[in-house]
């Protein structure tokens, strides 16, 4: 399935690049020394978009003006879309900030920004899952959002899923859309996932951090150490680079670390120090770092605090906006419901299968195995992780192959009697 999705993406890119129009040569000089060359297509209050070319491909880059040293323009043209000023959008009805409300009706403003909200909740791996997220992004194609907001509310989960989620964000979402993490709670593997996003926003009661890795040993959870820990630390250094975050901050979330910071009073720029010599002590060797919403913004980990979609839209620089992509989030809701139901049903089916085998009823056991295949297809994360809390192993191809072999052997033994 992953290969088919990759083929479709490559085909879409190839089709889009059959005729590539010439770009105006604008140059955006960044304070970090990089120069982006292309066409500035949109400017707003504190940001701009520039379309750059890489080989035969074009890609829109989102740039904060705070990171810009100077701009050289090819043509003094009036930007098509300025978000500064304007009339605030009318709030859409919502029951909870972390639930996608019914799509907002399109406002009269033709320049209204198109924002899609995708909820990522519960345990990373079984519920907050990379393959499920990739499918939601495929569903966005016809809705043409400009911004994709990942609403995160998770206490963590399986660390193996972090790289997969990061890869979907980096390679599937970022090339097409401006991607934003909107955090209600992002702990452990969920914090590590959000770290891929360059833009992080917090809900008022939100928190992010405590990214310590654990493994199960003799029925007990123990912190990873040694080479395993070093691998995870290196992994998060790379993901920090993807999200343009200082790796020292994530390290303090993973292992007890001395971390301090200086804040420039005129610009708000944060300088991190891997000792306690800075103006502010953020973390010490006696603790694992977790930020609340206020400190996350104070130290530049997050851009702003927003408790509802309109507050977030304003923080994103959108004076007028419309919500799109309801199908993408509805898929996430259904996926989580399916996984929850599948975990319970898989445990029941395995129990009934064992009863059938004890009774020598191979046909009944095969019927149970067919039901189990159906649930594995419906809740695909069971293929990777199973449901450990329910005694369900990963329902992958190897599991079904082994069970089929055992049933075949049992059937032959009974036939030979």
Torsion of CA 114, 138, 182, 180, to 10 degrees: -70
- In angstroms, what CA-CA distances link 279 with 25, 251, 304? 43, 20, 22
Mean pLDDT score of the chain, rounded to an integer? 83
Where does the pLDDT of residue 19 fall: very low under 50, low under 70, confident under 90, or very high at 90 and above? very low
Using a pLDDT cut of 70, give the percent of the chain over it.
79
Higher pLDDT, 107 or 279: 279
Looking at residues 286-292, what average pLDDT do you find?
A: 95
Provide the pLDDT for residue 110.
77
Q: Which residues contact 415 (CB under 8 A, 6 or more apart)?
A: none
**Of 17-26, 124-133, 206-215, 272-281, the least confident:** 17-26
Q: Is 214 helix (H, G, I), strand (E, B) or coil?
A: strand
Where does the pLDDT of residue 46 fall: very low under 50, low under 70, confident under 90, or very high at 90 and above? low
Q: C-alpha angle with apex 164: 147 to 229, nearest 5 degrees?
A: 125
pLDDT in tens, 81-139: 334 333 333 333 333 444 444 455 545 577 899 999 999 999 999 999 999 999 999 99
Where does the pLDDT of residue 298 fall: very low under 50, low under 70, confident under 90, or very high at 90 and above? very high
Where does the pLDDT of residue 1 fall: very low under 50, low under 70, confident under 90, or very high at 90 and above? very low
Assess contact for 301 and 245: CB atoms under 8 A.
Answer: yes
pLDDT in tens, 317-366: 999 999 999 999 999 999 999 999 999 999 999 999 889 888 888 899 99
Q: Which residue is associated with the tokens 């033709």?
A: 110
277, two tokens: 């010599």
Where does the pLDDT of residue 35 fall: very low under 50, low under 70, confident under 90, or very high at 90 and above? confident
Provide the pLDDT for residue 58.
54
Could you tell me the pTM of the whole model? 0.71
Assess contact for 324 and 112: CB atoms under 8 A.
Answer: no
CA distance 165 to 169: 6
Residue 269 predicted with pLDDT over 90: yes
Assess contact for 307 and 204: CB atoms under 8 A.
Answer: yes
Residue 42 predicted with pLDDT over 80: no
Superfamily of domain 113-255+282-324: 2-enoyl-CoA Hydratase; Chain A, domain 1 (3.90.226.10)
Assess contact for 172 and 142: CB atoms under 8 A.
Answer: no
**Of 225-239, 294-308, 313-327, the least confident:** 225-239
- The secondary structure of residue 219, as a DSSP letter, is T
Residue 61 predicted with pLDDT over 80: no
Q: Which run of H or E residues covers position 72? A: strand 68-72
Q: Which residues contact 31 (CB under 8 A, 6 or more apart)?
A: 67, 68, 69
CA distance 333 to 151: 12
411, two tokens: 């059937």
In 10 A of CB 322, how many CB atoms?
A: 19
Where does the pLDDT of residue 47 fall: very low under 50, low under 70, confident under 90, or very high at 90 and above? low
pLDDT in tens, 166-176: 999 999 999 99
Describe the strand order of the beta sheet including 35-44 as a list of residue ranges: 57-64, 47-54, 35-44, 26-30, 68-72
Looking at residues 255-259, what average pLDDT do you find?
A: 94
| Residue in 147, 145, 235, 139 with CA at minimum distance from that of residue 193 | 235
Looking at residues 9-26, what average pLDDT do you find?
A: 45
283, two tokens: 């973390």
Looking at residues 147-161, what average pLDDT do you find?
A: 95
The burial class, CB within 10 Å (0-12 / 13-18 / 19+), for 190 is buried
Parallel, antiparallel or unpaired: strands 220-223 and 214-217:
antiparallel
Report the residue count for the chain.
417
Q: C-alpha angle with apex 32: 26 to 36, nearest 5 degrees?
A: 20
Provide the pLDDT for residue 20.
39
Q: Which residues contact 315 (CB under 8 A, 6 or more apart)?
A: 201, 303, 304, 306
| Residue in 98, 159, 166, 99 with CA at minimum distance from that of residue 134 | 166
Provide the pLDDT for residue 226.
80
Looking at residues 364-387, what average pLDDT do you find?
A: 92
In 10 A of CB 344, how many CB atoms?
A: 13
Pick the CATH number of 22-81 from 2.30.30.100, 3.20.20.70, 3.40.50.1000, 1.10.357.10: 2.30.30.100
Residue 282 phi, psi (nearest 5): -100, -40
Looking at residues 136-144, what average pLDDT do you find?
A: 95
């Amino acid at each position: 399935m992953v290969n088919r999705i990759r083929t479709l993406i490559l085909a879409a890119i190839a089709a889009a690049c059959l005729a590539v129009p010439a770009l105006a040569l604008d140059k955006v000089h960044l304070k970090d020394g990089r120069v982006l060359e292309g066409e500035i297509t949109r400017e707003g209050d504190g940001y701009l978009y520039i379309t750059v070319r890489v080989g035969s491909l074009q890609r829109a880059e989102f740039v904060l003006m705070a990171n810009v040293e100077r701009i050289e323009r090819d043509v003094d043209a009036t930007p098509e879309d300025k978000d500064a000023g304007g009339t605030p959008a009318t709030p859409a009805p919502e029951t909870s900030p972390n639930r996608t409300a019914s799509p907002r009706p399109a406002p009269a403003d033709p320049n209204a920004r198109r924002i899609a909200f995708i909820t990522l909740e519960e345990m990373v791996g079984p519920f907050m899952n990379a393959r499920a997220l990739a499918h939601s992004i495929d569903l966005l194609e016809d809705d043409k959002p400009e911004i994709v907001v990942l609403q995160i509310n998770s206490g963590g989960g399986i660390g193996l899923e972090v790289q997969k989620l990061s890869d979907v964000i980096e390679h599937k979402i970022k090339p097409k859309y401006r991607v934003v993490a909107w955090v209600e709670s992002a702990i452990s593997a969920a914090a590590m996932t959000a770290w891929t996003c360059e833009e992080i926003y917090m809900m008022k009661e939100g928190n992010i951090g405590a990214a310590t890795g654990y493994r199960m040993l003799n029925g007990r959870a123990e912190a990873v150490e040694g080479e395993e820990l070093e691998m995870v630390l290196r992994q998060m250094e790379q993901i920090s680079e993807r999200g343009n975050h200082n790796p020292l901050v994530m390290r303090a979330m993973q292992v007890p670390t001395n971390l301090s910071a200086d804040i420039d009073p005129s610009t708000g720029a944060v300088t991190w120090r891997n000792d306690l010599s800075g103006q502010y002590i953020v973390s010490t060797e006696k603790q694992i770092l977790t930020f609340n919403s206020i400190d996350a913004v104070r130290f530049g980990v997050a851009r702003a605090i927003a408790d509802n979609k309109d507050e977030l839209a304003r923080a994103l620089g959108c004076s007028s906006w419309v919500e799109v992509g309801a199908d993408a989030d509805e898929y996430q809701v259904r996926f989580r419901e399916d996984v929850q139901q599948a975990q319970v049903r898989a445990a029941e089916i395995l129990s009934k299968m064992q009863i059938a085998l004890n009774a020598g009823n191979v046909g009944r056991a095969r019927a149970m195995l067919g039901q189990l295949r159906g649930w594995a297809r419906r809740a695909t994360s069971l293929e990777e992780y199973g449901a450990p809390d329910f005694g369900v192993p990963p329902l992958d191809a190897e599991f079904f192959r082994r069970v089929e072999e055992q049933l075949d052997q049992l059937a032959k033994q009974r036939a030979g009697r």
